[in-house]
Amino acid sequence: MDGDRVGERVRARTVTVATDEGLHARPAANVVETVEQFDAEVRIAPAGDADNDNRNGDRDDDPVAATSVLAVTSLGVASGDDVRLVATGDDATAALDALEELLS
């Protein structure tokens, strides 16, 4: 998280991705568009569950900014995988609520 958010309360949530495509181009773009509506910094990562390993076993589970389509698609998240959403900022809870609705 960037230095401007130091000291703010961090909100986090785990969500199961229900979109048929997982987090590929269109769903990732929808994530970015949703995040941009809020005064919040949101990061996303695969939840790290052993059952969520991608098909090649080489997925990077480090969180990425949810404001980058390329970063979100690079996570390799498939339909049915869990993702961990972490947010800070005035609208952190609202951003997480909107993302949960979008992805579920």
Which residues form the catalytic set? Answer: 24
Closest CA to 28 of 44, 52, 10: 44
Task: Count helices and strands (H / E) in the chain.
Answer: 3, 4
Classified as helix, coil or strand, 32 is helix
Residue of 94, 93, 89, 99 lying closest to 66 (CA atoms): 99
Q: How far apart are CA 1 and CA 53, in angstroms?
A: 25
Compute the distance between CA of residue 54 and CA of residue 47 in angstroms, rounded to an integer. Answer: 12
